Structure 1
């Protein structure tokens, strides 16, 4: 009888559908995007997020450099993301840097109007497909005012915070968290998080050197991903329980020389 019961239990278990793998999709710009090895040390935080999660979680990074909410939608990239998403997937939505480009009308999306409308569209279309949208405020630039880093995209972040209240959408306030990180490091110390190299550093991707206060180095991307992971862990979304309590890959103080996780 025990053998029959055990066999029956096994048959029932085999008949049950396998639990779907938890997934995170990222809709964003160059600050989160993937880069080929020949662009190292330039790294998007979306490349590093996996290092702060249970290995069973899949991160699908659809961030594209130079995109705003306006162009991400108009070029079909948002529709493409929706087409590959599955019910239950978390969608991290982070824009603002390029939406604020007044000098680039094809990208520009005023915060209180088009940017807000585009985010609302992303929220409702995500939910209509059974996805879980999470807004992410734009990460800080290395832009100081006195002793503290200043928010260069405050109007855009404020719109997101307002949408949290009006649509009950979870928020990762990456702007606030990264401003604090950069401020604590100081104007000189925070250079390690961004692309600051001289010809003497002999960085193959930037042989003539570079001084870029927007895009991240390996350490910067790891640090930003750590902030995203920490905020994600506190949200009421299924994948929150998959964020690692200890994230040594994301808190490194010296570069690994790659975007690997150990």
Structure 2
């Protein structure tokens, strides 16, 4: 079975016309979602991914805040994504933050059962449409255990890694990569990647300040998008060739003040 799946990916890659426009669709939650200028400096990594790709690649970001695999499917968002997709599109699938919300039963999806089943459904339906599904483990939170950031959604990431083996689905291990990033920055230094501001910063969206260890600042969204791009470039799928080798817009050390690429 795995050999047949791998062959299918190869056939898809060779069947695409050389001049076919590559598209990346994103199914995810608030960590990847689009935000308006009124929410700046909050950005999702999906807003910034375009800055790491060739200009001709289109990013269709369908990530929505507060969604788990359960609600993304039950609200018809997955069906809508599939309906607008085109054969050859790549679909990045990243969930866990809301699936783990035990206190929110409408969102909650136990890792070993509903979450796993939902991901399998997404994988098979994407392939049935002629798409290339790619699993993305959840980005790290600013959550430390001693000197190192810890994985708050390890059970969910574990399910994704298992599905890589059983379904031969490509994986972007954003959790592992972002844990390294946050850990290297340290507990204090990693605040720049998240929404940590005081009233003295005079941020219009957060006049009273904010201390959010889950959602990303501009620098955090750029950094996470860079990790996604780097991992994507290493996969054996057609869109990997469209990832820029140098991604200066995604490794900025000073905010640009928007989600622009320059």
TM range (shorter): over 0.9
The match for 1:218 is 218
CA deviation digits over 1:171-205, x for unaligned, max 9? 00000000000000000000000000000000000
Q: Distance in 2 between matches of 1:239 and 1:29?
A: 22
The match for 2:61 is 61
For residues 120-135 of structure 1, the aligned pairs below 5 Å read: 120-135=120-135
For residues 175-190 of structure 1, the aligned pairs below 5 Å read: 175-190=175-190
1:18, distance to aligned residue in structure 2 (A)? 8.7
Unpaired runs of 5+ residues, structure 2, are 1-16
Q: Which has the higher mean CA deviation after the structures are superposed, 62-71 or 19-28? A: 19-28
Q: Distance in 1 between matches of 2:113 and 2:125?
A: 18
Unpaired runs of 5+ residues, structure 1, are 1-16
The match for 1:27 is 27
CA deviation digits over 1:11-52, x for unaligned, max 9? xxxxxx893310000000000000000000000000000000
CA deviation digits over 1:53-76, x for unaligned, max 9? 000000000000000000000000
Structure 1 length normalisation: TM-score?
Answer: 0.93
1:96, distance to aligned residue in structure 2 (A)? 0.2
The match for 1:11 is none
Q: Distance in 2 between matches of 1:189 and 1:18?
A: 44
The match for 1:205 is 205
The match for 1:244 is 244
Larger C-alpha radius of gyration, 1 or 2?
1
The match for 2:99 is 99
The match for 1:108 is 108
Q: Distance in 1 between matches of 2:108 and 2:177?
A: 25
Q: Distance in 2 between matches of 1:236 and 1:135?
A: 14
State the number of aligned residues.
246
For residues 41-52 of structure 1, the aligned pairs below 5 Å read: 41-52=41-52
1:162, distance to aligned residue in structure 2 (A)? 0.1
Q: Distance in 1 between matches of 2:150 and 2:234?
A: 25
